[in-house]
Amino acid sequence: MANHVKLAKGNADRPARKRATSYDVAELAGVSQSAVSRVFQAGASASKDMRDRVLSAANKLGYRPNAIARGLITQRSNMVAVVISRQTNLYYPEVLVQLTQRFSEHGIRVLLFTLEHERDIDGVIEQVLQYQVDGVITAAILNDAQLDTVENAGIPVIFYNRTLPERLVNSVRCDQEEGERWLVSQLAAAGHKRFAIVSGPDDSSVSMERTQGALQKLRELSIADVLIVSGDYGYASGRAAFSEIMQRMGGVPDAVIAANDVMAIGCVDEARETNYLRVPEDVSIVGFDGVGPARYAAYDLSTVRQPVGRMSEAAVSMLIERIESPGLSPEKRVFSGDRIIGGSALLADSNS
Amino acid sequence: MANHVKLAKGNADRPARKRATSYDVAELAGVSQSAVSRVFQAGASASKDMRDRVLSAANKLGYRPNAIARGLITQRSNMVAVVISRQTNLYYPEVLVQLTQRFSEHGIRVLLFTLEHERDIDGVIEQVLQYQVDGVITAAILNDAQLDTVENAGIPVIFYNRTLPERLVNSVRCDQEEGERWLVSQLAAAGHKRFAIVSGPDDSSVSMERTQGALQKLRELSIADVLIVSGDYGYASGRAAFSEIMQRMGGVPDAVIAANDVMAIGCVDEARETNYLRVPEDVSIVGFDGVGPARYAAYDLSTVRQPVGRMSEAAVSMLIERIESPGLSPEKRVFSGDRIIGGSALLADSNS
DNA sequence: CTCCGGTTTGCATGCGAATGCAATACTGCC
DNA sequence: GGCAGTATTGCATTCGCATGCAAACCGGAG
């Protein structure tokens, strides 16, 4: 009871008590400010005696080094910016978690910037630069001018699942094209002839790569007549896309290649619920990503899974290397996706 | 071609060219440093002439105010910490996106901290304090000492979907209990008698509240004999849980109440695939959250959706208010979930 | 032409910590 | 005990920007 009253008062009239600084600690411990600073650094020289006195004083005052002030003098904020679109985080929440955790193991914090759409980057660049981050990981494309701006500020950039083919940049990505080519070849080898593709949003370079990869392989196999309808990566758009396919093809396609798993799931549902089709007997459907729901028994998608763990690890280590050695030459790392054979499509290897 | 060579050289031997400061701009523009500072502030006084000269000089040098230095002098970093567990982000990626976007509209950046498990908070608190954030939103529980530490530093804290009943804290949450009580009453009114509950991980307070809410209502309805099995919020654990229920009950339950949608989906799949049961004719299954997959046609869960949009908006505005008026008294905001009647369960209102 | 009120501008200082340099303390060795 | 050599410590300065204060400036009224 007494305790409760105390808390109430404490909260009400304690107006953000001033935080202790290294000078306060120095004074209480009877040493200089530099001494305090040294105690809170890794390889600094300090006698056992001083260390003890300083730490005890710091403890008494609740002192913590001010990372902002430290960043100002050392020219290292120990923060990196992660730029990600809402889309990307919705479909791969894992990416953000992994990046943050891995950076945190290296004493680096993540300043997060989310974009409603990938093209909303403009203002974000300014923000990123103002905050003096040590590096940037972006899952959104920058144009030449934007990239110049960041590079001129001496900040290393890693592109995540994006790349600028015309330019020397660092990037980590999953080989979308290779994955699609595999899916197509498997579908074709299983005897499918009439194909439809459900693409993603126009401003998604990932969707472009996937669609192009699939189309190209289809062309190589002399399957020219392919219907492409577009979606927005969402479930509803997958259902709408399948329905549009049925209508525009005037019948059931042999195989539908969706630009991501969620739309593939939408296609499966629309095929079954609205059109009373069996999957995969009447129509084969494949996706991309290997997200959680792709493995749900009701769908069991054939898909290609992005190796998110290895990709995020690569991105983090590449960025840290470049923060520590600014001169390092650019590198592009491309990971193959994991090929997943599920029950949503008849593939050549289905019985293997 | 020439362009390409230029870029290559530029990248290789330009070692993080020193960033322009307000002094550099001042010199080039022939004004004082304070003048530059004022031009880059909102309500500062500066003549049109000076403003033009400064901006043009700044532009020429690629100058941007250093947010770190600014934070040091103004005692406001314009950064807030968001602390979230991997679990939470996996199941509600939307939360993080919404928080970040809303803060960004107010000129506030998000410093992200992710926890592998909710209990890993300890070290994170230190980090948060070192970075001089202006406020904290946490989707992980703090104990008394940890909360004291943060509050003593004068940093306002908002709990997201967590709360400390014994203490005056700010919180925003969804009424888990109310939601569960509704689900239970609906299930009971539909005539279900044999209930099983699939709980979430032990360290999830949200799961606790949901389980307790359901149990309590069941008890009120004099349904005492309820089997509780535990899961980890994941799909596989939902399947395992259903299988365990079948075994331990020695038959089919009338209704299964899962602590979240993903486990509910796991239960549905296990019921259908392994036990050849019909949902909802043979067994009713309900979840909680209202995540995307809950609406997939194959599942069509009856569930309670968290109003993430309103919750995150509330959290952001509460935090900003408290940053700007440190004395404000604590507030707890509780939102009711949206009741979703799907086809995964026979509910009293199913035909309404 | 002078004086007054208001606006612009510059000067000087401070935010909190890191660090080169010099001063001091300590160590082992002869 | 004295000395070279090393480990500690303090002093003073610096990072980049914001801001109180006073000086300079502007325009209009008298």
Ordered DSSP codes for B20-50: P-HHHHHHHHTS-HHHHHHHTSSS----HHH
Beta-strand ranges (E) seen in chain B are 79-85, 109-115, 135-138, 157-160, 170-174, 195-199, 227-230, 255-258, 284-286, 303-305, 332-335, 338-340
Q: Is strand C within 7 Å of residue A19 (CB)?
A: yes
Interval B251-279 mean pLDDT:
96
Q: pLDDT-based confidence at A41, cuts 50/70/90?
A: confident
Are B131 and A13 a contacting pair at CB < 8 A? no
Q: pLDDT-based confidence at B351, cuts 50/70/90?
A: low
Is the pLDDT assigned to residue B1 strictly greater than 50? no
Q: Which pLDDT score is estimated for A119? A: 81
How distant is C1' of D7 from CA of A39, in Å?
15
Is the pLDDT assigned to residue B327 strictly greater than 90? no
CA dihedral A150, A152, A155, A161 (to 10 degrees): 50
**A101 Cβ under 8 Å from any chain B Cβ:** yes
Q: Which residues pair with B83 in a beta bridge?
A: B113, B138
CA dihedral A316, A320, A325, A329 (to 10 degrees): 10
Pick A94 or B15 by higher pLDDT: A94
Are B160 and B137 in contact by the 8 Å Cβ rule? The answer is yes
Nearest one of A176, A142, A156, A147 to A311, comparing CA atoms: A176
Is the pLDDT assigned to residue A122 strictly greater than 80? yes
Rounded Cα distance between B168 and B9, Å, is 60
Chain B residues 36-95, Cβ below 7 A from strand C: 38, 45-47, 49-50, 69, 72-73, 75
- Strand D: which bases are under 7 Å from protein Cβ? 7-12, 14-20
Token pair of B231, please?
């899961």
Is the pLDDT assigned to residue A105 strictly greater than 50? yes
Q: Which of A175-189, B39-53, B185-199 has the lowest mean pLDDT?
A: B39-53
Q: Is strand C within 7 Å of residue B11 (CB)?
A: no
pLDDT > 90 in chain B, percent? 76
Fold classification of A78-175+308-336 is Rossmann fold (3.40.50)
Is the pLDDT assigned to residue B163 strictly greater than 90? no
Give the homologous superfamily in CATH for domain B15-65.
lambda repressor-like DNA-binding domains (1.10.260.40)
CATH of domain A176-306: 3.40.50.2300
Q: pLDDT-based confidence at A17, cuts 50/70/90?
A: low
Chain B residue with Cα closest to A166: B4
Are A114 and B101 a contacting pair at CB < 8 A? yes
Q: pLDDT-based confidence at B5, cuts 50/70/90?
A: very low
Concatenated DSSP letters of B260-292 = SHHHHHHHHHIIIIIT---TTTT-EEE-SB--G
Is the pLDDT assigned to residue B166 strictly greater than 80? yes
Q: Report the nucleotide nearest the CA of residue B19, measured to C1'.
A: D16
Q: Indicate the helix (H) or strand (E) that contains A174.
A: strand A170-174
Q: Which pLDDT score is estimated for B18? A: 73
Q: Which pLDDT score is estimated for B42? A: 72
How far are the Cα atoms of A123, A204, A312 from residue A88, in angstroms, in the given order? 19, 10, 14
Q: Is strand D within 7 Å of residue A54 (CB)?
A: no
Fold classification of A2-65 is 434 Repressor (Amino-terminal Domain) (1.10.260)
Residues 6+ apart with CB under 8 A from B334: B173, B174, B175
pLDDT > 70 in chain A, percent? 94
With H, G, I as helix, E, B as strand and everything else as coil, classify residue B71: helix
Q: Which pLDDT score is estimated for B328? A: 92
Q: Find which of B74, B83, B126, B131 to mutate to test the A interface (most A CBs within 10 Å of its CB).
A: B131
Rounded Cα distance between B173 and A184, Å, is 47
Nearest CA distance, B4 vs chain A (angstrom): 8
Are A259 and A231 in contact by the 8 Å Cβ rule? The answer is yes
* Mean pLDDT rounded to a whole number for chain B: 90
Nearest one of B270, B225, B90, B87 to B162, comparing CA atoms: B87
Interval A213-222 mean pLDDT:
95
Q: Which pLDDT score is estimated for A109? A: 97
Residues 6+ apart with CB under 8 A from A134: A76, A77, A78, A79, A80, A108, A155, A323
Of A13, A16, A154, the CB nearest to B154: A16
Q: Indicate the helix (H) or strand (E) that contains A79.
A: strand A79-85
Q: Express each pLDDT in B106-119 by its tens digit.
A: 999 999 999 988 88
Strand order in the sheet with B195-199: B227-230, B195-199, B255-258, B284-286
Is the pLDDT assigned to residue A320 strictly greater than 90? yes
**B120 Cβ under 8 Å from any chain A Cβ:** no
Pick B9 or A102 by higher pLDDT: A102
Chain B residues 27-66, Cβ below 7 A from strand D: 33-34, 37-38, 40-41, 63-66
Amino acid at B119: R
Q: pLDDT-based confidence at A76, cuts 50/70/90?
A: very high
**A203 Cβ under 8 Å from any chain B Cβ:** no
Q: Which pLDDT score is estimated for A12? A: 34
Rounded Cα distance between A272 and A242, Å, is 11
How distant is C1' of C6 from CA of B46, in Å?
14
**Domain A78-175+308-336 identical in fold to domain A176-306:** yes
Is the pLDDT assigned to residue B254 strictly greater than 90? yes
Q: Express each pLDDT in A147-201 by its tens digit.
A: 999 999 999 999 999 988 889 999 999 999 999 999 999 999 999 999 999 999 9
Is the pLDDT assigned to residue A18 strictly greater than 80? no
Angle between helices B121-130 and B144-152 (to 10 degrees): 0
Q: Is strand D within 7 Å of residue A114 (CB)?
A: no
Interval B287-308 mean pLDDT:
96
Interval B311-339 mean pLDDT:
95
A332 contacts in B (CB within 8 Å)? none
What top-level class would CATH report for the domain B78-174+308-337? alpha beta
| Domain map (residue ranges) of chain B | 15-65, 78-174+308-337, 176-306
Is the pLDDT assigned to residue A6 strictly greater than 50? no
Q: Which of A35-39, A253-257, B16-20 has the lowest mean pLDDT?
A: B16-20
Rounded Cα distance between B136 and B127, Å, is 12
Are A111 and A136 in contact by the 8 Å Cβ rule? The answer is no
Q: Which pLDDT score is estimated for A68? A: 95
Residue A335: φ, ψ to 5°: -105, 140
